[in-house]
């Protein structure tokens, strides 16, 4: 069947949703350690998008290294908890020439590019490239990181250049401030892992010429020390998520800090916490959210706990997790719409080794049970999509069925023998009062025809949305449709006129009923409800002529036309859930990266500071 996706118009706003760890991303690393784990992680992250050096890396900084005040996050000038001597404005203060600190910022390869011959893709990999003061960057040069007691030069934020004091190397090194030592250590662990297959061609005093352990002992000990002393921060979590959007890979040592010990220790003794996800995957208000994780250990897991809260860094609520094998779960109670919930998982084994995950979060949007039009359901997600199944009698139910690469909804009352069934397939409520020119179409295939089975399409204006549909009043639309005549031959229904239906809580339904003497099999696909929205109070052209180019697109789009200063873009999926939000920096020809979104039809909503709104249709391939 031709694939369609829902298309809705929405006019409400949510807060920013960042890319999260994809479900199953680290599955192939489960239960491994040492060089084997490092190679498994290499295979997970090695394939990624290589950015251009100009403007690709510069553009990436605007999302990967942006402070809350909108300034550049420079780790060589930042003063955590204090006021830096200077700050940078994106783009306008890019280097350029410099003669002193505070002149301009440029691109610091924390793993110097001379070590790998300025080769691609390392030279543009943002996981080790940071925006820093150009003068400080030049002072650092390609010296390795180390620790200094008697600096020959010190930057305004306390970064130092001087002789290394760590046993094993007595050359000149550069020491960043404590706040960013862990960040840089995890960048180095990433480089040794992502480019495992290229490591032996790199040349530096800190590399041992092998793919494992990769670093000479003094430097490896230093990196582990920095990693443990400076745990993963929210800055790193946000940066990891932002880089994933543009590069499509992640730093596993930020997602799972315990991997450092598992890879470079002699044995992984701490519990492993993998494959963390929620059910529902995209919660809405009134949903109790179950958090799942796979937790394993070489010994015995003695303690697991889920900590959660509505403020990042203040997870004061705790819930013990229950286990079924290695799958652990705990429930976070429902919260009101507009809440962002933060959570982390703690596990401890019989040797008192403890693992704590990074913070995860999800956002609770509002959903009143009403969907918007137009919509299409093609069942290609492997379930019944927006439809809800309700069985009145019988043991058979509507289910998702795949045949020759096509997915559909299927119902049959036959299982070895005919079994009497009455089964409904119901949409959520639809507000028909907000639309005109509504039509319905679908395709059906049938087999095993008999005179006792009935298959109907109906609508109700008073179905509650739950419970036995027979408690509501239904109007039959079946005579307006064309149906399959049998032999699994697909038949288009034709366009069924729904424009005469009024009501704000309309439910559409397909009803299957058979007797215990015989049972037809019915397949349903490509259910489409088309409509024209009646605009009520939504300003839809206040921005003037703004268009999306290219459309369809798979990675970057550009908004052509004049935009209000400080406008924002919100991209919604078919359920009205926010997938992407970005504050616009330009007032014309604004570029937006959409490569992290799945293929489908979306609404791109432009919103100005004075609440002017324009909705545009966006197709992602």
Give the pLDDT confidence of 432-455 residue by residue, as tens digits: 887 788 999 999 999 999 989 999
Task: Indicate whether 2 belongs to any domain.
Answer: no
Task: Indicate whether 16 belongs to any domain.
Answer: no
Residue 535: the pLDDT is 43
Domain end: 212, 236, 264, which one? 264
For 514, residues 6+ apart whose C-beta sits below 8 A from its C-beta are 413, 418, 420, 421, 450, 452, 453, 454, 520
Residue 361 clears pLDDT 90, i.e. is over it: no
One domain for residues 332 and 398: no
Residue 18 clears pLDDT 60, i.e. is over it: no
One domain for residues 251 and 124: yes
Residue 6: the pLDDT is 31
**Stretch 162-168: mean pLDDT:** 89
Task: Indicate whether 96 belongs to any domain.
Answer: yes
Pairing of strands 429-430, 370-371: parallel
Task: Indicate whether 3 belongs to any domain.
Answer: no
One domain for residues 353 and 484: no
**Stretch 411-438: mean pLDDT:** 88
**Stretch 45-62: mean pLDDT:** 97
Residue 4 clears pLDDT 50, i.e. is over it: no
Query: What is the band of 607 on the pLDDT scale with cuts at 50, 70, 90?
Result: confident
One domain for residues 319 and 278: yes
One domain for residues 254 and 284: no
CA distance 164 to 68: 35
Residue 571: the pLDDT is 86
One domain for residues 180 and 308: no
Residue 372 clears pLDDT 70, i.e. is over it: no
Domain end: 506, 533, 560, which one? 533
Domain end: 300, 333, 364, which one? 364
**Stretch 220-241: mean pLDDT:** 92
CB 360 within 8 A of CB 372: no
Give the pLDDT confidence of 175-216 residue by residue, as tens digits: 999 999 999 999 999 999 999 999 999 999 999 999 999 999
Task: Indicate whether 202 belongs to any domain.
Answer: yes
At residue 523, what are phi and psi to the nearest 5 degrees?
A: -120, 140
**Stretch 468-483: mean pLDDT:** 96
Residue 613: the pLDDT is 63
Closest residue by Cα to residue 363 from 344, 345, 337: 337
Tokens of 379: 């069942």
Give the pLDDT confidence of 252-309 residue by residue, as tens digits: 999 999 999 999 974 345 788 887 877 766 677 777 888 988 898 877 898 999 999 9
Give the pLDDT confidence of 64-91 residue by residue, as tens digits: 999 999 999 999 999 998 899 999 999 9
One domain for residues 356 and 385: no
Residue 108 clears pLDDT 80, i.e. is over it: yes
Helix then strand count (H, E) for the chain reads: 8, 37
One domain for residues 146 and 239: yes
Measure Cα distances from 552 to 169, 321, 557, 583 in Å: 55, 44, 9, 22
pTM of the model: 0.46
**Stretch 333-338: mean pLDDT:** 88
Of 19-28, 288-297, 551-560, least confident by mean pLDDT is 551-560
Residue scoring higher pLDDT (367 or 240): 240
DSSP assignment string, 105-137: EEEEESS-GGGGTT-TTGGG-TTSEEEEEHHHH
Residue 590 clears pLDDT 90, i.e. is over it: no
β-partners of residue 361 are 342
Task: Indicate whether 56 belongs to any domain.
Answer: yes
Task: State whether residue 566 is helix, strand or coil.
Answer: coil
**Stretch 487-493: mean pLDDT:** 95
Task: Indicate whether 14 belongs to any domain.
Answer: no
Residue 168 clears pLDDT 90, i.e. is over it: no
CA distance 95 to 136: 12
Residue 422: the pLDDT is 96
CATH number at residue 556: 2.60.40.1220
Q: Which domain holds residue 208?
A: 27-264
In whole numbers, what is the pLDDT of the chain averaged over residues?
A: 86
Site of tokens 């490092």: 38
One domain for residues 249 and 107: yes
Task: Indicate whether 5 belongs to any domain.
Answer: no
One domain for residues 180 and 67: yes
One domain for residues 112 and 237: yes
For the chain, what's the residue count?
A: 621
One domain for residues 331 and 454: no
Give the pLDDT confidence of 129-159 residue by residue, as tens digits: 999 999 999 999 999 999 999 999 999 999 9
**Count of structural domains within the chain:** 4
CATH number at residue 419: 2.60.120.200
CATH number at residue 327: 2.60.40.10
């Amino acid at each position: 069947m031709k694939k369609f996706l829902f298309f809705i118009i929405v006019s409400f706003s949510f807060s920013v949703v960042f890319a999260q760890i994809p479900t199953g991303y680290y599955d192939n690393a489960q239960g491994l350690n040492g060089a084997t784990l490092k190679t498994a992680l290499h295979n997970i992250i090695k394939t990624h998008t290589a950015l251009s050096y100009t403007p690709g890396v510069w553009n990436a900084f605007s999302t990967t290294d942006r402070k809350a005040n909108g300034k550049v996050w420079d780790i060589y000038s930042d003063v955590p908890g204090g006021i830096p001597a200077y700050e940078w404005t994106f783009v306008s203060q890019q280097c350029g020439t410099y003669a002193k600190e505070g002149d301009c910022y440029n691109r610091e390869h924390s793993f110097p590019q001379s070590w790998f011959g300025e080769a691609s893709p390392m030279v543009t990999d943002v996981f080790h490239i940071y925006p820093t003061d150009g003068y400080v960057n030049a002072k650092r040069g390609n010296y390795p990181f180390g620790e200094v007691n008697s600096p020959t030069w010190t930057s305004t934020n306390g970064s130092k250049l001087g002789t290394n004091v760590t046993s094993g190397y007595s050359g000149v090194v550069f020491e960043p401030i404590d706040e960013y030592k862990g960040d840089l250590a995890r960048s180095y662990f990433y480089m040794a892992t992502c480019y495992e297959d290229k490591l032996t061609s790199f040349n530096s005093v800190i590399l041992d010429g092998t793919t494992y352990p990769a670093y000479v002992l003094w430097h490896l000990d230093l990196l582990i020390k920095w990693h443990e002393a400076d745990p993963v921060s929210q800055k790193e979590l946000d940066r990891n998520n932002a880089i994933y959007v543009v590069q499509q890979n992640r730093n596993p040592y930020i997602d799972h800090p315990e991997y450092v010990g598992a890879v470079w220790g002699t044995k992984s003794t701490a519990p492993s916490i993998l494959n963390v996800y929620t059910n529902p995957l995209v919660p809405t208000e009134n949903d109790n959210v179950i958090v799942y994780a796979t937790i394993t250990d070489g010994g015995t897991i003695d303690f697991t706990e889920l900590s959660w809260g509505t403020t990042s860094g203040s997870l004061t609520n705790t819930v013990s997790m229950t286990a079924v094998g290695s799958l652990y779960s705990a429930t976070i109670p429902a919260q009101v719409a507009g809440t962002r919930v933060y959570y982390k998982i703690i596990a401890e084994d019989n040797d008192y080794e403890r693992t704590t995950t990074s913070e995860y979060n999800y956002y609770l949007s509002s959903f009143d049970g009403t969907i918007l039009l137009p919509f299409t359901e093609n069942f290609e997600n492997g379930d019944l999509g927006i439809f809800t199944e309700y069985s009145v009698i019988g043991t058979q139910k509507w289910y998702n069925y795949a045949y020759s690469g096509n997915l559909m909804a299927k119902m049959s009352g036959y299982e070895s023998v005919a079994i009497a069934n009455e089964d409904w397939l119901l949409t959520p409520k639809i507000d028909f009062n907000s639309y005109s020119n509504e039509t319905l179409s679908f395709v059906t295939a049938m087999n095993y025809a008999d005179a006792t089975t009935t298959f109907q399409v109906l609508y109700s204006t008073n179905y509650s949305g739950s419970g036995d549909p027979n408690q509501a009043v239904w109007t039959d639309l079946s005579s307006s449709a064309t149906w399959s005549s049998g032999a699994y031959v697909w038949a288009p229904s034709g366009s069924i006129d729904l424009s005469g239906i009024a009501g704000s809580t309309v439910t559409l339904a397909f009803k299957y009923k058979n007797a215990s003497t015989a049972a037809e099999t019915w397949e349903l696909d490509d259910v489409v409800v088309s409509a024209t929205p009646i605009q009520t109070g939504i300003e839809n052209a206040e921005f003037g002529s703004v268009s999306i180019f290219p459309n369809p697109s798979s990675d970057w789009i550009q908004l052509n036309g004049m935009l209000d200063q400080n406008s924002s873009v919100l991209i919604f999926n078919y359920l009205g859930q926010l997938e992407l939000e970005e504050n616009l920096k330009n007032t014309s020809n604004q570029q937006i990266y959409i490569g992290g979104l799945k293929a489908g039809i979306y609404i791109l909503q432009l919103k100005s500071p004075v609440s002017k709104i324009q909705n545009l249709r966006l197709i992602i391939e």
